[in-house]
Amino acid sequence: MKVLIVGSGGREHAIAASVAKSERADRIYCAPGNAGIGQIAECVPIGAMEFERIRDFALENGVDLVIVGMDDPLVGGLVDVLEQAGIRAFGPRKNAAVLEGSKAFSKDLMKKYGIPTAAYEVFDQAEDALEYLHTGAKFPIVLKADGLALGKGVLICNTLEEAEDGVCAIMTERRFGTAGNRLVIEEFMTGREVSVLTFTDGKTVRVMSSAQDHKRALDGDRGPNTGGMGTFSPSPFYTPEVDRFCREHIYQATVDAMAAEGRPFQGVIFFGLMLTPDGPKVLEYNARFGDPEAQVVLPRMKNDMIEVCEACIDGTLDRIDLQFEDNAAVCVVLASEGYPVKYEKGFPIEGLERFDGMEGYACFHAGTKLSEDGRTFLTNGGRVLGVTAKGATLQEARANAYRATEWIHFQNKSMRHDIGKAIDEA
Ligand code: AMP
Ligand code: GLY
């Protein structure tokens, strides 16, 4: 089979590595990919939002399966464009990807179908939001831009003043662009956060091993929010009891709700959960694998990735027995100093060859590119690499991952030193 993956980050590298393990994969393409993906796939210089070019490339090259990794093209309707041309594509159609694309939509869905989540109100006008803050609000309170905002459209406000500034930033100044046309104001929840990725074919849902992300830039959960600085899997806080509750009241309930709305969801639903004192509640939905959750979950998956993707497309997921290795994995992101605010790039990366042939280790590329002469890997983004290691236990995986971070050198390399620290409290 010829498989085309759409995206360019560490997640897409992890997807490509998973596809490469399948005996059915003869040829793997990635649009646009990055330097690391280029070692296992053929990168084609087409952007993830160039739908017609992606479609034409797939037709001209006889691509049998397209896997869309990123949120923007999913929400924009890439899968619909491909399907209309008769190309098999893994990922939700536009009318289902709205689960991630609009927080107001997802909150209303959860309310309508009784899926546990934080109490909320939706506003179209800044004045109404401000009025609400002055009358009905308890602090801290959470403001969320309705649309996609690179994971940055969420503000947690401790005081009325902060919340007023937040409403202005999102709705008046449009700091997150049109994502701020509408605003969700939400109750603040406390508890442990867990990410659970699931496959679904629109009816059946299959749950992957749990994970936890570290979104803040600096040790001790300080600093600005980022795309994610590291992950571990499984989460020791995601107990069998929590899992049982979530399968019934959250995962299957969501899949059924989308089907009932005439928006059957086929692809990956990422459930961002808060394990609150009142039980698990949904923080957010994503319509794709997490980044960097995929970098710890997929290396532990035993199934053939192509087979699972096809089952989601064909509506035969009930025949798949999803299995994960009985071990753990930790991913530490190596970033450029200053990320996510201001950083330099273009520095040579050394030590990548240390991962060659190392069973249980992987170095997933996020922001890298090859030098002009094609000989040197260069830093090319805020998040540069994701160093993943497995271990029999989470502690062992963490020790292995941090040891492997030392194999890599580049100027302005930075990372968090406490990825998986929560494991010790479990
Ligand atoms: P989101 O993009 O919706 O996942 O939000 C980003 C981060 O903000 C989450 O990972 C949480 O840490 C935090 N957050 C979002 N909503 C809430 C909430 N209702 N209560 C507490 N924290 C929240
Ligand atoms: N790691 C969080 C996300 O992928 O949205």
DSSP string for 165-195: HHHIIIIIS-TTGGGGGSEEEEE---SEEEE
Residue nearest to atom 4 of ligand 1 (CA): 284
Contact yes or no for 276/189 (Cβ under 8 A) = yes
Residue nearest to atom 7 of ligand 1 (CA): 154
Q: What is the pLDDT of residues 173-188, one digit of tens each?
A: 999 999 989 999 999 9
Residue 192: is its pLDDT beyond 80? yes
Measure 59 CA to ligand 2 centroid, in angstroms.
Answer: 31
Please tell me the predicted confidence (pLDDT) of residue 152.
77
Domains of the chain (ranges; CATH) run 2-93 (3.40.50.20), 119-187 (3.30.1490.20), 192-319 (3.30.470.20), 328-425 (3.90.600.10)
CB of 77 closer than 6 angstroms to any ligand 2 atom: no
Please tell me the predicted confidence (pLDDT) of residue 149.
85
pTM to 2 decimal places: 0.96
Q: Closest-lying ligand to the alpha carbon of 297?
A: 2
Q: What is the pLDDT of residues 331-359, one digit of tens each?
A: 999 999 999 999 999 999 999 999 999 99
Q: Closest-lying ligand to the alpha carbon of 294?
A: 2
Mean pLDDT, residues 218-231 taken together = 93
For residues 116 and 282, give the distance between their C-alpha atoms in angstroms, rounded to a whole number: 6
Residue 125: is its pLDDT beyond 80? yes
Please tell me the predicted confidence (pLDDT) of residue 425.
84
Q: Closest-lying ligand to the alpha carbon of 143?
A: 1
Residue 415: is its pLDDT beyond 80? yes
CA of 187, closest atom in ligand 1? 19
For residues 283 and 281, give the distance between their C-alpha atoms in angstroms, rounded to a whole number: 6
Please tell me the predicted confidence (pLDDT) of residue 225.
86
pLDDT band for position 120 (50/70/90)? very high
Residue 151: is its pLDDT beyond 90? no
Q: Closest-lying ligand to the alpha carbon of 383?
A: 2
Measure 88 CA to ligand 1 centroid, in angstroms.
Answer: 34
Please tell me the predicted confidence (pLDDT) of residue 59.
98
CB of 151 closer than 6 angstroms to any ligand 2 atom: yes
Measure 160 CA to ligand 1 centroid, in angstroms.
Answer: 18
Nearest 5°: the CA angle 397, 365, 355 is 50
Residue 136: is its pLDDT beyond 80? no
Residue nearest to atom 5 of ligand 1 (CA): 154
Please tell me the predicted confidence (pLDDT) of residue 220.
95
Mean pLDDT, residues 161-170 taken together = 94
For residues 146 and 103, give the distance between their C-alpha atoms in angstroms, rounded to a whole number: 5
Please tell me the predicted confidence (pLDDT) of residue 244.
98
Please tell me the predicted confidence (pLDDT) of residue 308.
98
Residue nearest to atom 5 of ligand 2 (CA): 290
Residue nearest to atom 3 of ligand 2 (CA): 290
Q: What is the mean pLDDT of the chain?
A: 96
Residues within a 6 A CB radius of ligand 1:
118, 142, 151, 154, 156, 186-189, 193, 215, 272, 283-284
CA of 228, closest atom in ligand 2? 1
Contacts (Cβ under 8 Å, ≥6 apart) of 244: none
CA of 153, closest atom in ligand 1? 2
Please tell me the predicted confidence (pLDDT) of residue 150.
77
Q: Which residues of 300-323 are buried (b: 16+ CB within 10 A; e: fewer)?
A: bbebbbbebbbbbbeeebeebebe
